[in-house]
Each structure stands twice: as C-alpha cells, then as structure tokens.
Amino acid sequence: MEALAGKLAGSNPEAMMELKKNVWAGTEGWDALLKERAGISGRLVLSDFTRQAIAKFKAG
C-alpha cells in the first residue's frame, strides 16, 4: 500500500486531479445514496435469513 501511495504522490499533479474528477463523477447525491443504502443494509441484516445465518455462525 505504501508503494502505491508513493507512486501516486510522485505522479503528475494535473493528471491526478483529472483522475479524481473522473472517479468522483456522478457522486453529487452521495449523502442521499448513503442513507438509501444504509436503509437497505439495515433491512437485510434484520431479515430472518440473516438472523439464522448469524445463529449458525455463532453455534460453530
């Protein structure tokens, strides 16, 4: 991980700025998306299927 960080730190600053723009494009509604996905995760983790899977895991 340190090698990658060092490589990126030594990269062309303009290229890195453009890369970040591309990576983060379309995330303007990030806060709403996170809330929506947290709701989905919460619903799924409380499902009977998940509860049974956790119980099996705990039982060993």
Domain count, the chain: 1
DSSP string, 29-54: THHHHHHHHHHHHHHHHTSHHHHHHH
Question: What is the residue range of 26's domain?
Answer: 2-59
Write the pLDDT tens digit of every residue in 4-55.
888 888 999 999 999 999 999 988 999 999 999 999 999 999 999 999 999 9
pLDDT band at 1 (very low <50, low <70, confident <90, very high): confident
CA dihedral 25, 27, 28, 34 (to 10 degrees): 180
The answer to whether the pTM exceeds 0.85 is no
